[in-house]
Amino acid sequence: MKIRTIRFGELEIPDEKIITMSKPILGFENLKRYCLIERQDCEPFLWYQSIEDPAAAFPVVNPLLFCPDYKIEVNPREIEELHIRDVKSVETYTIVTIPADPANMTINLQGPILINTETCLAKQLVLVNSGYDVKYYVMRGTSKQDADKQFETAAV
């Protein structure tokens, strides 16, 4: 399938690589089909590119690269929804926010995207009461709450 993208131009994506969201990403309810784009100049980051909207592409990353202790619990309903039969077929990504100053780059540990690579079904989880933050500072290895506490302590 040929897709148009704002960021990467026209791309040929094999049909078996098209990912369908069982529920859309929060705030992007109209977009349900995506593909992962790997680029050597962006490693270890990938792009989660919408098939339906050429302008919608999210930088994503495996959260374990920056938060090695990251663990999520997937409930049986979500396992069924994504048709997960083998945990090895599941990839986890977090959306990356890259501000003007890359030192303040964050990943959303509270809203990971799970992709079943066998079925190409995906879902963004919302980890309520997980202790994870929506803004985990990649370069500092801290959550926003921890960074705020460090700032308050330094200011005293």
Which class would CATH give 2-155?
mainly beta
- pLDDT computed for residue 51 by the predictor: 98
Residue 61 bridge partners (DSSP): 94
The pair of structure tokens assigned to 68 is: 């090695």
The pLDDT-based confidence of 142 (bands split at 50, 70, 90) is low
Q: Using CA of residue 1, residue 60, residue 19, residue 22, what is the dihedral sign?
A: negative
Q: Check if the beta carbon of residue 128 is closer than 8 Å to that of residue 102.
A: no
- pLDDT computed for residue 128 by the predictor: 87
The DSSP output letter for 111 is S
- pTM of the full structure: 0.87
Domain boundaries along the sequence of the chain: 2-155
Q: What is the pLDDT of residues 13-40, one digit of tens each?
A: 999 999 999 999 999 999 999 999 999 9
The label of the residue with tokens 């700032």 reads 151
> Which of helix, strand or coil describes residue 35?
strand
